[in-house]
Chains A and B, each alone.
Chain A
C-alpha cells in the first residue's frame, strides 16, 4: 500500500461537522428512549398497582379468594373477598361477546376488503371507525335504556340487565377493532394469490376461505385477540348493562358482575389504605395478569402458526 492510500484510509474525505455527529447521537438516543419507555411504563404501572395491593397479599387465603363467590368487602362481622364470581363474570361476558364479535367482525372485514369497492367501501370504513369512537358511557346508556327494554320484551329474561346485554355491547365495541385490524390483514395478502386462485376458477368465496384465510391467519388471529383485549378491559358499559350482581351465571339471561366494574364502582367508596382498597388493587393485578396471559397466548399462537 502506498503512502497516499494509507492517508486516504485514515482521513475520510467527507468529514462531518461535530454538530451533525452529535445531532445524530441525540436523535438516536431519543428514539431509543421512546422504545424503552413502553417497557418502563408497563412495568411501572404494574408495580404501582401491585404496591397498593401488596400488604394484603399475605393476609388472604388465596384459594378462597379465587374460587369463592362470596364478595362481602364491607361486611361488619365477616369480611370476605371471594372474586370467583367476578372472574367468571368477566370471562363469560367476554367469551359471549367474542362469540358474536369475531364471526361478525371477520365477516365485515372480508366484505370491506374483498367484496365492496369505491363509495360503499369508503362509507363502510368511515362508519365502522365512527363506531369505535362512541364513548363507552354512551354504550352503557344504550344498554340501560334500549337493550334492556328489548331483551325484556322479546326474550324470556326476567331482567334486561344481564350477561347477554353486556355481551352484545362488548361485541359492538370490539367489532370495529376486529374489522379494521382484520381488513389490514386481508389487504396485506399479495394480490397475486387472489389472481392465482381466480385464474384457476375459484369463486370469490372460495378465494376467501381457501386462500385469504390461510394467508392472513396471523393477522386475523391478532384481530380477534385485540378484540378480546378490548372486551376484557371494558368497564363503564358492562357496569351499566350487566346488572352488576355478584353471581355465577347459569344462563345468558342472568345478571353478572365483572372485575373491572367492581373496581370502578367501589374504589371511590373505600378509605385509602384499607383492606378493601388494597383488595381492589389486587383485582387490578389479577386483571393485568389475565390480559398478560391472553397476549402471551396470542403471541405463542401467532408464532406457532408462523413456524408451520
Chain B
C-alpha cells in the first residue's frame, strides 16, 4: 500500500527533475525558510519580521505561513503527501500534518538546534535529522526518535547536513565536523568515507546521475564523488580558503552547477564542474550569498544575499534582479512536485 503511493510520487519527482526546457506550467511548488531583519532581532521583544516557511504564489510573490520563527534552517516533505512536512528549527524538529495549519515540536528537550532534515523517499515514514551532537532517526513520521550513531565518533559528530540517496532505501550521508559519513543500512551503522578537519556544510546528489555527488565545506573547498559517494576528491578549481555554504544542481542541464560563499559570492560552472566562475555582477557589493537554488522547471537561478534580498537570474547569473523577500536570509529551498499535492 505504502509502495503504491510512493513510487508514483518518485516517478513524478524524477520526471519533473529532467523536464524539457520550455515546459509550460511549473511542475513544482517552491517553499523556502527565511529570516527577516535578523540583525535587528532582540529576544523577548515582538519580532517585527515575518519569518519561517514561505511559499511561492502563482504570481511569483512569496507568502509566509505557519509559525513565525526566525531560526528555521531546513525543511523536508513527505513524498506521499506534501501537506506533511518537517522543519528543523531552534527548539527542535517541527512537524505539520496539514500544510502549516497546525504544528508540533516533535522532539523533546534533549534535541536542540537541528540543522538538517530529510525523508527517505523509499521509506517515507523514516526521517533523518542532523543535530549538533549527531543524528536522530524516526521510523514513525516523527512521533518517536532514536539516536542512531554507531560508527560516528563519540566526539566529532556535529552534523550540519544529512542527505538521502534517492536510489537506495536507507542510504544516507551525514556531513559532520570530521568528514562525510555514510550509512547503507538506515543508520544502523555509519562509516567515514572522507575525513575533514572542518564541518561539511552541504551534500547534494545529481538529478542526472545518481552516482554523482557534490559537497562543500567551511574551509576545505568543494568535494565531488562519481561512485555514489564511496570515494570523494577535492575539486581543485573551487577556492578552498573560505567557507562554502551550499551547492545546487540544475535539473534541466547537467552542465550547470552553483556554489555559495559569504566571501566570494556565487560560483557557477557551466561545464559540469570542470571550471568555475563568480557571477556577482548585479548583486550587492557585499555579495554574501547564503543559499542558492536552481528552479527545476525554468532554470532560474536564486541567490539569497544575507539581509539584502532574494535575487533571481534567468541567464544563470549574468544579470540579476531582486526577486522578493527584502532584508531576508534564506536558509533552505525546496521544490515540491505539484503532482504530489
User: Do they bind each other?
Assistant: no
